[in-house]
Chain A
Amino acid sequence: MSFSMIIYFNLLILLIGIFGMIYSRDIISAIVSLQLVVISGLMNFLVFSHFLYRYSLWDRMFIIPGVTVIYLVMFCLIYYLYLNKDKLDRQELYRDFRLFKITKSDWWGEDII
């Protein structure tokens, strides 16, 4: 595969990830969309390293701790989700969750629970 082909494919993954974050209606889809953005960043590192720098050390130095930390944070979120919520709550969460939900109470008046 050529460099430009990989970059276009990478851009497609990034756009799918961003679209997923905006459009998804449950938390797991939102987290999967975030993973797509991570994969896009990861591919950038690997592609640039392969085509531009002929395998420099810096990309691996960044990727290994970077990805470890990202997945650690995501793992904590998912673990917390399953640890705290019973089945009924989880169903509710899966049904009505938006990462960028904007409601009237965020701007004006009281926040009704």
Chain B
Amino acid sequence: MSFLIQLSEKVNPFQSLIILAAVFFVLSFFVLSRSRAVKNFLVALVSVSLIVAFYLNIYCYISMGSFSSFLIFMGDLQVIEIGIVIFSALNLLYFIYIYHADNENFSKILIIFLFSIISAIFLILSKNFLLIFTSISVFILAIFQLVSVMNSGIDKISLNILEYFLRPVLTIVLFFLGFSLLYGVIDFKDFNQILQSEYITNPLIVLALVIFGAALYMYFFLFPFQGPYLRLIKRGSLSTGSLIWFLYFPVGFFTLMKPGELYIFFIEKDNLFLSIFLIAITYLCILAGSIGAFKTNNLRRIMSFMFLFFVGIYLLNISMYSTGIIDISSMVLFSFVNIFIMLLSFMSMSAIFFNVEKNTGIGSIDSIRGLGRNNRYMGINLVVIFLSWLGPLYYIEPFIKYIVKSGFPGMGVDNIILLIAMVAGCVFLLVNILRILISVFKKAEPGTYKKILFSWSLYAYVTFFSLVIIISLAMGLLGILNVDIAFLDFNISGT
């Protein structure tokens, strides 16, 4: 037993990675297998490894505390981020199994999938520039391979895959350029060294941060560069959208947090240009995302636009910090709440909508017409899922507090502009929710409705998410009302 504890201490904080790497090694022996039984066994093995990795990630951190070395750093945020990635991976595994179990490349998909999770965890843990750069490059490479294998049977998709992945490649190249500029200031090895040095305001560092910002802008396909992202999700296989939403984007958010403290330094210096830029991007994402979703009838495009809308809400949070409405702890809390809302709602919603598309063969919003009447359980679940989209309403509280403190005229032009953005965002969000719900509960035209089959696993999956949303909502309401929950010290306002 003591040997095991010693071993565990030695490999800290790589336990979760070791488990996944071991399963990756085992999977490589089954790469040519096409037997259904073997596929089921592999899925079970990967699921168990992900659950064990999730447990070890938390357990080891609690028992051994934070860890820092030349290459990596593991603290509170890293544990949460790894937890989110592994949780997303479990859900993605479900999607991959549903849509690719009959694929002859299924074992290869699982291997590349596991590899992408390992590289994502490396990226989250990495502290050193070299490790950050290589892990993000390998992660993008793994996602590219995964998307190309998943879409191998789809005609005329390769152009869309190529035009999509040229952007992440541009991200990698810009990262390389940015790191080369940082090297020109002084022999820096990680972002923390820059933060503690006297060279932080050096123009080369500012230029490198601008280049990193541009690289991440490309990575997220923010407006007006959203075209390849929308096209790939619409034309690719059903699981491609899930992969991009639940793995590619969250890892991008966590990469954004790496140089985050440097950006915060410049935000705190009341950098007007940075605030204006953030506010402009927030507006663009919120307005273009919600209007784009409203003007299209394709369900996948609606979801893609809405995802960009939520990226806009994520940026609204940073903009609010830049204008002084919220403090840094609230910003970090809101960022994670946003990611949580996005993942929870999109996982369950895409499970339902993708199943409808698979059954009917139609990707239009008309395919869900009458769904809520013919399958009331799924209809109610959809209502619950959309309730989680009302989460951005929690931004109202900081605004109210700010207005009470300084009065409406004393708010400043920037804060009033942000308040308008938030109100407009909430209105557009409600319009989009109502549009989908009206379609779901509308009476189907006679003879047009085709019975949609939902498997028991899908019922269980959607029910799980609905319960999580209801519990989160109840906790949030209790937090707002300042009701002590006794067993959990939780306050949604983060104050």
Contacts and interface: CB of A to CB of B under 8 A. Distances in A.
A111 B231 contact: yes
Interface string A64-81: 011001101110110011
Contacts of B148: 80
Query: Interface residues of B toward A: which range?
Result: 35 or more
Contact of B137 (A70, A84, A97, A107): A70
A81 B87 CA distance: 33
A108 B226 CA distance: 12
A51 B444 CA distance: 73
Contacts of B129: 62
Contacts of A99: 163, 166-167, 170
B162 A69 contact: no
Contact of B133 (A34, A66, A103, A110): A66
Contacts of B162: 27, 77, 80-81, 93
Contact of A41 (B134, B159, B177, B292): B177
B100 interface: no
Contact of B166 (A30, A40, A61, A84): A30
Nearest to B167: A99
Contacts of B174: 37
B137 A73 contact: yes
A65 B130 CA distance: 8
A53 B166 CA distance: 34
B141 A72 contact: yes
Contacts of A42: 180
B491 interface: no
Give the contact-size bracket for chain A. 35 or more
Contact of A21 (B130, B144, B170): B170
A62 B156 CA distance: 38
Contact of A38 (B166, B173, B234): B173
A38 B176 contact: yes
A107 to B, nearest CB: 6
Interface string A88-113: 01000100010111110011111101
B189 A111 contact: no
Given A73-B172, A80-B158, A84-B158, A107 B288 contact: yes
Contacts of B231: 111
Task: Select the residue from A48, A61, A109 with max chain B CB neighbours within 10 A.
Answer: A48
B225 A100 contact: yes
A89 B295 CA distance: 31
A49 B169 CA distance: 26
B446 interface: no
Contacts of B361: none
A45 B226 CA distance: 32
Contact of B230 (A31, A73, A106): A106
Contacts of B181: 44
Interface string B143-167: 0110010000000101101110111
Interface string A12-44: 001000000100000100110010011011101
Nearest to A14: B177
A84 B26 CA distance: 30
Given A44-B181, A69-B138, A76-B144, A93 B295 contact: no
A77 B169 contact: yes
9 contacts: A30-B166, A38-B177, A41-B176, A65-B130, A66-B130, A66-B137, A70-B172, A109-B296, A110-B296
Interface of A: 14, 21, 27, 30-31, 34, 37-38, 40-42, 44-45, 48-49, 52-53, 56, 58-59, 61-62, 65-66, 69-70, 72-74, 76-77, 80-81, 84-85, 89, 93, 97, 99-103, 106-111, 113
Given A48-B180, A100-B225, 9 more contacts: A37-B177, A48-B184, A69-B138, A70-B173, A77-B166, A97-B163, A111-B230, A111-B301, A113-B156
